[in-house]
Structure 1
Amino acid sequence: MRRNDREITDKAEIERFISGEKILRVGFCDNGEVYIVPVNYGYTVDDEKYTFYFHGAKAGRKYELAKACPSVGFEIDGRYELVEAEKACGHSAKYQSVIGNGTISVINGTDEKRNAFSCIMKQATGRAEWEYDDAVLERTALFKIEVKTMSCKARS
């Protein structure tokens, strides 16, 4: 990170930020092209190791890339606020972001799918206890990203 003075290392602050946002952007490499897709997410933290979850169709570019190219990048940003100035080049912004990389995989087991969906629903609604139709679980792809590296940055 070029601006070390903006790095956030406080684990509780990082957790507050991730728990308060709604969209994770996942970046895939597709034959030399970058493919970035925004997704709703849920997550778990086990011994300071993050795992992100999201869902999608069992077909299409995202699904095929997740199976073929397991190395991905990801990004969450928020808390944006424009800081105005008299001159154009004096404008700036307040923000916070998390970026990192990890390994993506498609979840296959029904119990793990239920757990992943519960994480996603908790992030979206604040409620984790839901019932899931087995037919819906069967036709839905659930993905997990096991984080290898992650950093958080803010300008306030």
Structure 2
Amino acid sequence: MAHMRLAKREITDGKELRSVIEKCTVLRIGGRDEEGMFIVPVNYGYEWEEKDGDISLKFYIHSAKEGRKARAFRKDPQVAVELDREGGVIEGSYTCSYSFAYESIMGTGTIRLLEKTEDKRRGLRFLMEHMAPGSPIEFRDEMIEAVDVYEIDVAEFKGKKREKKK
């Protein structure tokens, strides 16, 4: 990914990056199809692995079997991803000195349809664990077969934040 202009805002610590992902609930996926570019907001689950300083990140989403995003993901699996948390307005002493506090993650990756029932079940489990922690999780096979489940293998990503002054 491109170098961040304001390096002081970049989140580089793995624990802090994961914390942003954990606190967010909406993943925005950017893709393209014959109509052009599009962004779709979805709920998600994720898998995070750190080994020797390297981070592996995968997102899991579910979707209807048909529709624009399903067609687009089949045709072009390259996607962009974005998550953010609002931190509120930072007041300034004059109009143009106002700002906004936030935390965000942006990246790119490849999306693929999970075909095997067990892979879909695993992806849905990540989604439920993130979106409804502590809830009982049980998937009947007919429920799993009724939806598509996708895995996004994130190739690269960066985090950024702006904090309110204390």
TM-score tier, shorter chain, comes to over 0.9
CA positional deviation for 1:90: 1.3
Select 1:16's aligned residue among 13, 16, 19: 19
* Deviations 1:32-67, CA, capped at 9 Å, x for gaps: 721100000000012320000010100000111111
Runs of 4 or more, structure 1, over 6 Å off, are none
CA positional deviation for 1:87: 2.2
Corresponding residue number in structure 1 for 2:148: 141
Select 2:8's aligned residue among 5, 8, 32: 5
Do structure 1's residue 43 and structure 2's residue 46 form an aligned pair?
Answer: yes
Supply the AA of the counterpart residue of 2:155: K
CA positional deviation for 1:79: 3.5
Select 1:94's aligned residue among 95, 101, 119: 101
With 125-134 and 88-97 compared, the bigger mean Cα shift is at: 125-134
CA positional deviation for 1:100: 0.1
Q: Contact 1:44–1:52 at 8 Å: present in 2 too?
A: yes
Q: Contact 2:77–2:112 at 8 Å: present in 1 too?
A: yes
Corresponding residue number in structure 1 for 2:28: 25
Select 2:74's aligned residue among 63, 67, 78: 67
Corresponding residue number in structure 2 for 1:104: 111
Do structure 1's residue 85 and structure 2's residue 92 form an aligned pair?
Answer: yes
Supply the AA of the counterpart residue of 1:85: G
CA positional deviation for 1:128: 6.8
Unaligned runs of 5+ in 1: none
Cα RMSD (Å): 1.3
Q: Contact 2:33–2:75 at 8 Å: present in 1 too?
A: no
Identical columns (%) = 34
Unaligned runs of 5+ in 2: none
Q: Contact 1:119–1:128 at 8 Å: present in 2 too?
A: no
